[in-house]
Amino acid sequence: MEGMSMKVLCIMVAFMVVAAPYAEAVTCDNVVSKLSPCLNYLRDGGKVPAACCSSVRALNGAARSTTDKKTTCNCLKNVAKSFSGNIKTDNALGLPKKCGVNIPYKISMSTDCNSIK
C-alpha cells in the first residue's frame, strides 16, 4: 500500500508540475492550497468535485517557468510522502484525465524534478 501511495503522490506531483496560472512564482503553499479540494476524492474516490478540477487546471496553468515546475514537482513529492497510505493510487493517477488535464511526462515518485524543463 505504501508503494501505491507513493505512486499516487508522484502522479499528483507530475500533474502539479504542469500546473496553475499564477502571475507570481509558484510556492509549495500554493500547491498544497490548490490541492485541498481534491483530498476527499484522492482518499475515498467517487465523483471528482468541481472545485478540485478547477484547482487542477489552475495548477496546470500556473507552473510555466522551469523553476515553478521544479518547485511544484518537489512539493508534490513531499506532500505525497506525508499522506502515504491515505491516498488511493488509482484516484491520483486518474485525476488529471478526469479534470481534462494532459501531463506530458511520466508521473512517479521516481521522477527527477531537477530534470524538468
Q: Directed axis angle between helix 28-35 and helix 2-17, to 10°?
A: 110
- Of the pLDDT bands very low, low, confident and very high (cuts 50, 70, 90), residue 105 is low
| Number of residues that this document lists for the chain | 117
What does residue 81 show for φ and ψ, rounded to 5 degrees?
Answer: -60, -40
Contacts of residue 111, defined as CB under 8 A and 6 or more positions apart, other chains included, come to 10, 13, 14, 73, 77, 105
- Of the pLDDT bands very low, low, confident and very high (cuts 50, 70, 90), residue 88 is confident
The per-residue pLDDT for 8 is: 58
Per-domain residue ranges for the chain?
2-101
pLDDT tens track for 27-67: 888 888 888 999 899 889 999 999 999 998 988 888 788 88
State whether CATH 3.30.540.10 applies to domain 2-101. Answer: no
